Chains A and B, each alone.
Chain A
């Protein structure tokens, strides 16, 4: 049973560019959440998707947007990249209706903005 997968593993972008990160949830999970983990800090919640809509959002600007596809996979898009966007981006999945509250995390995408 494949867990949460993310691509790419690493990414280097230039300030001002745009980036798209991808996530496939664990089999049987329909909810995807994205987190940003800056170096030396705990992950911060960006947003959560289920039924192809953004359901909750953390304190992140509109430059951060996402999408969820009918197969439950998800993308995170970041526009107008800033140096401060350099971080590990984590995707997590969970089954919304099962009453299970923990989330399962992928290995992350490390984004470096130069």
Chain B
């Protein structure tokens, strides 16, 4: 069984300051991990993915995440927040025991507010 816990339901940052979104996962197998972003009234967009290569993963729009197996964490960071980063962010886990196209298990989401 797999599960994801996003430790903060809301995060508020000032423009230009760092962003940290925390995620812990549980998986019976070696997981694939993802961060998706959802802007209001939009679909989900993939920010980055971890699939057992480098533990530090770089994504789009300056985001990166670090896979820490010992802590079962996959926290998302960005050095400098931009107004356009205001959105809902989802940490997602998928087991890799089966072929591509596995079901994704989503965390509850973290809503990011960026203040000018």
Contact = CB atoms under 8 A, between A and B. Distances in A.
Contacts of B51: 101
B77 to A, nearest CB: 20
A44 interface: yes
A16 interface: no
A27 interface: no
Interface string B89-108: 01000101001111111111
Contact of A108 (B36, B43, B104): B43
A48 B103 CA distance: 7
Given A41-B108, A101-B94, A56 B99 contact: no
A50 B90 contact: no
Given A42-B107, A42-B109, A103 B43 contact: no
A95 interface: yes
Interface of A (DSSP majority class): loop
A92 B42 CA distance: 14
Given A101-B51, A102-B34, A33 B46 contact: no
A101 B109 contact: no
A103 B107 contact: no
A97 B103 contact: no
Contacts of A33: 101, 103-104
Given A31-B100, A43-B90, A94-B100, 11 more contacts: A40-B109, A43-B106, A45-B104, A92-B44, A94-B101, A96-B101, A100-B100, A101-B94, A101-B102, A103-B104, A105-B44
6 contacts: A33-B101, A41-B109, A42-B90, A56-B103, A92-B104, A106-B43
